[in-house]
Amino acid sequence: MNLYNIWCDLKPGVGDVDFSQKVAAYLGHLEEQGLIEGWRLSRRKLGLGPSSLGEFHIVIECSDLAQLDAAFGQVASRRDPVEGYHFGVNSLVQNATFALYRDFPDPERHQGEERF
């Protein structure tokens, strides 16, 4: 599984529940289209975490990079309905940071013949 991570803060005046509803609409749409496998929204608790990462954390699960690329392609089209969902989330956040992780060890990883 590939895990596309997004950390962000809300812009001043943005409600946390409104943000969570917009994230659910956006990522729920992508999931219904088969463009992602799942997603999760979490929020920093008790102020614990690096200050360089935002208060909110979104994890988007994709089966492989082809699925992630298809999701990016759909969003990059800037066509409705996905454009409305994307704008609905993107317009509420600031200080966004992105990262791509994968489950480890990879399922195709064979051990015992490494040459390093």
Per-residue pLDDT reduced to its tens digit, 50-103 = 989 999 999 999 999 999 999 999 999 999 999 999 999 999 999 999 999 999
Whether 88 and 22 have beta carbons less than 8 Å apart is answered as: yes
- Flag whether pLDDT at 115 surpasses 90: no
Average pLDDT, rounded, for the chain: 95
H helices within the chain, ranges in order? 16-32, 65-76, 82-90
Write down the pTM of the prediction: 0.91
The model's confidence at residue 113, banded by pLDDT at 50, 70 and 90, is: confident
- Flag whether pLDDT at 116 surpasses 90: no
* Token output for 29: 């749409």
* Token output for 106: 């990879």
Q: What is the pLDDT of residue 109?
A: 83
Q: What is the pLDDT of residue 65?
A: 95
**If you classify domain 2-102 with CATH, what class do you get?**
alpha beta
